[in-house]
Amino acid sequence: MDKSHGEIGPVKMPPGASRALSRHVSKAIARLDPARYRQEAAYVAALFARLDGMVYHGRELTIEIKSTIVADRGPNSAESIWGADFGIMCRLAAPNGLVEKGVLGQAKRGSLVDLPPNEGELFRRQVVRMTQATDATVGLEVPKEASASPMIRIVQVPNMFQATIPIWKSFRRLEFSINSPTHQEPPVYLSHAIPIGVYIYAELLRCLHGDTNERFIRGLEDSSLTYLMVETRRSE
């Protein structure tokens, strides 16, 4: 079975795959009451433990979600180095190929566009560190009410070869930015909020978001992120 590092286009998505993913995500968040998780790290760990597993298994396609809670203990922890506190990897296997796509993410309680200045600056720095490993980065908004869906915002940092942030199609259009207080460091751009189940199916599985680099995917398999490496940005 060959591994594809491109789009998922050649893989046929059966109608039942969307329903299976919706059920899987709904079941994962049904008993997650944010009031029982005082810190967002505890909520994130519980959420991704429930999301991890086989989502859909059919004759034409299987879909599996793997998640990693990034090690956060100590000054040299993976989170302090890379800025992420979780990783998501989706694996699609079909008779004609295999596709694996992953993202790094950082979670905050409540809306990312309403963070207090100090928390917004912390998030900006964390995103900048994440983009040293991959362009596939997201922010997760931990809900404040029981059974509410966690929301995903695709985040992006312009690099030295980008004069402006590209305007994406549809609901992935970048709408908000968090600027450095000194304006000497790159801002972070955020998409509008997307329910996590919609993001996984519509963006990570069926669209362009996500990193297919094999070394990056292997790096997500270890909570220490040992095998991640700094990406070299270059002009096209």
At 42-87, the pLDDT tens digits run 888 899 999 999 999 988 889 999 988 876 555 555 555 666 888 8
Tell me how far apart the alpha carbons of residues 130 and 132 are, in angstroms, rounded to a whole number: 5
Residue 228: predicted pLDDT: 55
- Token digits of residue 233: 């940005």
Q: What is the pLDDT of residues 102-118, one digit of tens each?
A: 999 999 999 999 999 88
User: pLDDT-based confidence at 232, cuts 50/70/90?
Assistant: very low
Cα→Cα distances 228→11, 67, 186, Å: 27, 16, 22
Question: How many CA atoms are closer than 13 Å to the CA of 178, on its beta-carbon side?
Answer: 26
* Pairwise pLDDT comparison (215 vs 96), residue with the higher score: 215
CB count, 10 Å around CB of 204?
A: 24
Q: What are the DSSP calls for 84-104, one per residue?
A: -SEEEEEEEEETTEEEEEEEE
- Token digits of residue 127: 């995103």
pTM of the predicted structure, to 2 decimals: 0.83
